[in-house]
A and B are shown apart, each in its own frame.
Chain A
Amino acid sequence: MRLTCPCCGPRDRREFTYYGHETFLHRPAPDAGGQAWDDYLHNRDNPAGPTRDLWYHDPCGTWLVVARDTVTHAVEGSEALA
């Protein structure tokens, strides 16, 4: 598997650390309540098909969102968070 780091180009997946679905980007307000925080922290779909998840490129420290397909394994693209 290969992913494209926006900073370093296409690289082997061994250089990346997986985090989880991009849900982690949408941090609720501190007072959003228990349900919102549970959903943010723990509740995830298990999609068969397109998904967007977070990866860290260890050598350069860039976090990226990767759009890929869990069925075909096709990687559509990736973009840096910042």
Chain B
Amino acid sequence: MSGGWRIPGRGAGIDRQRPLRFRFDGREMEGFAGDTLASALMAAGVRVVGRSFKYHRPRGVMTAGAEEPNALVEIIEGAQQTPNTRATVQELYAGLQARSQNRWPGLGFDALAVNDFLHPFLGAGFYYKTFMWPRQFWERVYEPIIRRAAGLGSLSGRTDEGAYEKAFAFCDLLVIGAGPAGLVAALRAGRAGADVIMAEADTQPGGRLLADLPEIGGQGARDWLAGVQAELAALPNVRVMTRTTVTGAYDGGTYGALERVGLHRADPGDLPRECFWRIVAKRAVMATGALERPIAHPGNDRPGVMLASAMPAYVNRWGVAPGRRVAIFGNNDSALATAQALTAAGVQIAAYIDPRPDVPALQDFPVYRGAQVVGTRGRMGLHTVQVRHADGVSEVPADALGLSGGWNPTLHLACHMNGRPEWDARIAAFVPRDGMVPGLTAAGAAAGGLSTAACLTDGARAAATALADLGLPVPEMTPPGAEDAPYGIAPFWAVDAGGRAWLDFANDVTTKDVAQAAREGFASVEHMKRYTTQGMAPDQGKNSNVAALAVLADATGQSIPDTGTTTFRPPFVPVSIAALGAGGRAKGFAPERRLTSDAQSRAMGAPMIEAGLWYRPSYFPRVGEATWREACDREVAMVRGAVGVCDVSTLGKIDVQGPDAGRYLDFLYTNRMSSLKPGRIRYGLMLREDGHVMDDGTCARLGEGHFLVTTTTAAAGQVMRHMDFVQQAFCADWAVRFASVTEHWAQFAVAGPRARDLLNTLLDQPVSADSLPFMACQPVTVAGVAGRLFRISFSGALGYEVAVPARYGAALFSRLVEGAEALGGGAYGMEALNVMRIEKGFITHAEIDGRVTAFDLGVQRMLSAAKDCIGKPASERPGLMDDARGQLVGLMSVDPADRIDAGAPLYAADAPARAENWQGHVTSAGYSPTLKGWLALGFLSNGRARHGEVLCIHDALRGRKLMARVCDPVFLDPEGRAMRG
């Protein structure tokens, strides 16, 4: 160990032939493949890895696992900056760049360390008391300052461009944790033929075996492990997932798990950074082991103080000595065993300190019985441990101190569905109860079995239970023998001596804070937690919650089980939002639906507008048109004067068939559809059962028992769900079936006085005004392709909609546009479509917004008196047929140049624009080149009786105020001559 911190001949987890360069706070260092950032830093002699949350005290590596409270760093990869990364979990790779957190200007000298001297004023809840007045200072002054002073790492402030994945998996048995208990469970279930997933948070299976290297079945731990791994690998029904932490237990046997996929690679290539798994398991074995807890003694946070069990992990896995002279302070037999193991590995034990008076004193190292650590010295690194014993206080030189206050079973997952654990006095810890999560069994140390032999036996038992539940054969299995020393412990939580003794290192919570919380009335565990922030840091109090509970119990004079536990919630370890939401970003969140004419529309320069998930052309600009309005006005004029073509395939199309189809549609629509003759079309209104309008559309009868109904683009999904419900709930025995055919057909509106001329150039059999009258339909052959022709109009012009199978959509669109242009027309987009339907007073979901009734729309006559339909009884409730309700009206600005905007509120001409004077609102608006003025639709209280009245539209949001005249919502051609022509 001369000079360096690596121990020759130790460290099976690292490859000394593969050195890796990395940087910490800009300093270049070297570690080995297999190192964690923590082991590499310790090997490089770095003792201070961060500053504490509140007091900015120097801190060192505390643990060798996911529970690390101190060694949190920022990892920098180009634009990516990941804060609060646990150095004990981050694997080393070539070129890794890490930065310490919560210090300024640097780790060695941190200006805010002044907080440490102010600590008498900064106890629990200090900011609730100190920064109360003046009130408005909290948000603007105090909070920003406190936020800067406290807190952990920082984000880059840029968008996370990293790749993340999500995945689903299914299995008979999920084994959580691949320590001795998990390995035996997976082996037994695997041999039985069960479909097994074993998830292990670490880089390799083994758990504590990798740190403690016990003998198993007469073999070395590594040899036994290699044998088990080989057998598992040979079983095709067993999947071992390493670097995968099970983060939560949810309903129905679903478990969340976070896999680190690319985070440990220098060049991840196309791999995602992380993958979030949802694993559905019929049964689960929770073999998550146990977490050691420290002891709260004065000065227990100095760099060099760590968990006793972390020390053999660093020695045996990574070949790193935790110190040159190591002291161990523990209250249980595993602490003594650790001291013995470290001695055997060549680490010098300066002292073993145990409050128990009866510890065997004859060891290869000095033993202090009935003793406690009452203080430490060494600001940037421990150098002295002060030990109080029967004969006084000794100053023991030591540069590392291992703490062991006992072990807490890692039972978090078992509590995720609101189960409460029970206190086991035998090991002075909480253990899971049976049935806390349905289908989940705890095994091994997670169930309170703290010897290797107990883990092996219990893993086999848990597998047998699960296999029996699954109805699978239970293969005979005799677990191998192993160390089975009894585990003695004398509960000991905090040293009673002057000075601050830390419980929660990550949030700087001391025993005094907990006692103070109790004194000030925050005596329930949930109150204490929130008042002191105990257990609320990224580590969620993994190794401090139980000790804090014990200190609280002591302060309130209760027992620990009576004090209770805090609630464990998912996730067990921090999960990035990006991983949880993987696949749900940008187009993954809202995929694009494209029309068959999409490519042509874009090639024509049309900007696209979103309609639900669909992308529809807004307008088709021509040379010389500077604004969208110029294009829109021209397109409207084209349709009114010649012919226009518009892709309307986005409308929902539902094919309804069967002898009872008409009867079914009568029940669904307000008006009667069964009386429709084949080859005819009717406009239909559909209500929700509560009497409000759900949707409108057309219903075409293609044959005796064959209808095609259309829905609006926006409501297609809702209408389909509604139709399924009505049919399955109320008329399941009727002979009717239906299916969505929206994507099967490309459909184009051809509108304008020359519409028929254009169509007849493409139809194999031309149509005339009489052969296909308004609101009729027929099968047609379009340039040799079988299609359908509907004589309907959403523009008010002479109009048709022609439909062909979707694969011919692009070709037909090209032919139609070409033909239209030859006739002085062309393609039109959504803007022109909207202006023309406003001119005609046709409604869209801007009007039928879910609060509107047929009465409001002025189409109460569409509710057939002769039959029942969905929504009819409720629509007749008195409040829904009140004249004071908003009624659909038209609005024209008094000065035609005055622009009207959708959403603007309506007031009486002379009334101030205040809420109590509100009379209605504008739903749609546009400039009509046909009528040379701004038109709008809207809802106005008692509007039908107020045609001719002049109102004030005062749009304070956009800063516009104008006068508008109320009129009938049909501005143009109220008799419908053009479309009937």
Query: In the complex, which residues of chain B have a beta carbon less than 8 angstroms from the beta carbon of A42?
Result: 690
| B724–A61 CB distance below 8 A | yes
- Interface digits, B243-269 against A, CB 8 Å rule (1 contact, 0 not)? 000000011111000000000000000
| B732–A82 CB distance below 8 A | yes
| A41–B720 CB distance below 8 A | no
Query: In the complex, which residues of chain B have a beta carbon less than 8 angstroms from the beta carbon of A25?
Result: 729
Q: How large is the interface on A (under 10, 10 to 19, 20 to 34, 35 or more residues)?
A: 20 to 34
| B280–A2 CB distance below 8 A | yes
**A56 CA to B723 CA in the complex, in Å?**
12
Q: Does B680 contact A (CB under 8 A)?
A: no
| A24–B729 CB distance below 8 A | yes
Which one, B168, B721, B872, B877, contacts A12 given CB within 8 A? B168
| A41–B874 CB distance below 8 A | yes
| B728–A82 CB distance below 8 A | yes
| A30–B252 CB distance below 8 A | no
Chain A nearest CB from B282 CB (Å) reads 10
| B438–A41 CB distance below 8 A | no
Q: How large is the interface on B (under 10, 10 to 19, 20 to 34, 35 or more residues)?
A: 20 to 34
**A19 CA to B729 CA in the complex, in Å?**
13
| B250–A30 CB distance below 8 A | no
Which one, B251, B278, B877, contacts A34 given CB within 8 A? B877
| B721–A56 CB distance below 8 A | yes
Q: Does A75 contact B (CB under 8 A)?
A: yes
Chain B nearest CB from A61 CB (Å) reads 5
- Interface digits, B670-705 against A, CB 8 Å rule (1 contact, 0 not)? 000000000000000000011000000000000000
| B727–A1 CB distance below 8 A | no
Q: Does B766 contact A (CB under 8 A)?
A: no
Q: Does B725 contact A (CB under 8 A)?
A: yes
Query: In the complex, which residues of chain B have a beta carbon less than 8 angstroms from the beta carbon of A30?
Result: 868, 872-873
**A41 CA to B690 CA in the complex, in Å?**
7
Chain B nearest CB from A58 CB (Å) reads 8
Which one, A24, A31, A75, contacts B252 given CB within 8 A? A75
Nearest B residue to A68, CB-CB: B251
Which one, A28, A37, A62, A73, contacts B417 given CB within 8 A? A73
Given the contacts A30-B872, A34-B877, A41-B689, A56 and B725 also touching, CB distance less than 8 Å:
yes
**A80 CA to B728 CA in the complex, in Å?**
9
**A60 CA to B657 CA in the complex, in Å?**
18
Q: Does A43 contact B (CB under 8 A)?
A: no
**A30 CA to B871 CA in the complex, in Å?**
10
Given the contacts A12-B278, A73-B417, A61 and B720 also touching, CB distance less than 8 Å:
yes
| B868–A81 CB distance below 8 A | no
**A23 CA to B848 CA in the complex, in Å?**
26
Chain B nearest CB from A53 CB (Å) reads 13
| B724–A56 CB distance below 8 A | yes
- Interface digits, B364-390 against A, CB 8 Å rule (1 contact, 0 not)? 000000000000000000000000000
| A82–B727 CB distance below 8 A | yes
Query: In the complex, which residues of chain B have a beta carbon less than 8 angstroms from the beta carbon of A32?
Result: 873
Q: Does B137 contact A (CB under 8 A)?
A: no
Which of B438, B724, B872 has its CB near the most chain A CB atoms (within 10 A)? Answer: B724
Q: Does B730 contact A (CB under 8 A)?
A: yes
Chain A nearest CB from B249 CB (Å) reads 12
| A1–B732 CB distance below 8 A | no
| B254–A2 CB distance below 8 A | yes
Chain B nearest CB from A10 CB (Å) reads 8
| B438–A74 CB distance below 8 A | yes
Query: In the complex, which residues of chain B have a beta carbon less than 8 angstroms from the beta carbon of A61?
Result: 720-721, 724
| B720–A2 CB distance below 8 A | no
Given the contacts A12-B278, A30-B873, A81-B729, A17 and B250 also touching, CB distance less than 8 Å:
no
**A73 CA to B802 CA in the complex, in Å?**
51
Q: For residues 42 through 81 of chain A, which have their beta carbon under 8 Å from a beta carbon of chain B?
A: 42, 54, 56, 58, 61-63, 73-75, 80-81
Which one, A1, A31, A58, contacts B254 given CB within 8 A? A1
Which one, A31, A58, A81, contacts B728 given CB within 8 A? A81
Nearest A residue to B870, CB-CB: A27
| A37–B721 CB distance below 8 A | no
Nearest B residue to A74, CB-CB: B438
**A71 CA to B725 CA in the complex, in Å?**
27
Query: In the complex, which residues of chain A have a beta carbon less than 8 angstroms from the beta carbon of B690?
Result: 41-42
| B721–A17 CB distance below 8 A | yes
Given the contacts A1-B252, A25-B729, A37 and B168 also touching, CB distance less than 8 Å:
no
Query: In the complex, which residues of chain A have a beta carbon less than 8 angstroms from the beta carbon of B872?
Result: 30
Which one, B254, B730, B873, contacts A37 given CB within 8 A? B873
**A75 CA to B252 CA in the complex, in Å?**
8
| B732–A81 CB distance below 8 A | yes
Query: In the complex, which residues of chain A have a beta carbon less than 8 angstroms from the beta carbon of B689?
Result: 24, 27, 40-41
**A1 CA to B278 CA in the complex, in Å?**
11
Nearest B residue to A65, CB-CB: B729
Enumerate chain A interface residues (CB-CB to B < 8 A). 1-2, 12, 17, 19, 24-25, 27-28, 30-32, 34, 37, 40-42, 54, 56, 58, 61-63, 73-75, 80-82
Enumerate chain B interface residues (CB-CB to A < 8 A). 168, 250-254, 278, 280, 417, 438, 689-690, 720-721, 724-725, 727-730, 732, 868, 872-874, 877
Sampled A-B contacts (26; CB under 8 Å): A1-B251, A2-B253, A2-B254, A2-B280, A12-B280, A24-B729, A25-B729, A27-B729, A30-B868, A30-B872, A30-B873, A31-B873, A34-B877, A37-B873, A37-B877, A40-B689, A41-B690, A61-B720, A61-B724, A63-B724, A63-B728, A73-B252, A73-B417, A80-B728, A81-B728, A82-B728
Q: A12-B254, A73-B417 are in contact. List 18 more A-B contacts (CB 8 A).
A: A2-B252, A2-B280, A24-B725, A27-B730, A30-B872, A41-B689, A41-B690, A41-B874, A56-B725, A61-B720, A61-B721, A61-B724, A62-B728, A63-B729, A73-B251, A73-B252, A75-B251, A82-B729
The 6 closest A-B pairs by CB, nearest first: A82-B732, A2-B252, A82-B728, A81-B728, A1-B251, A73-B251
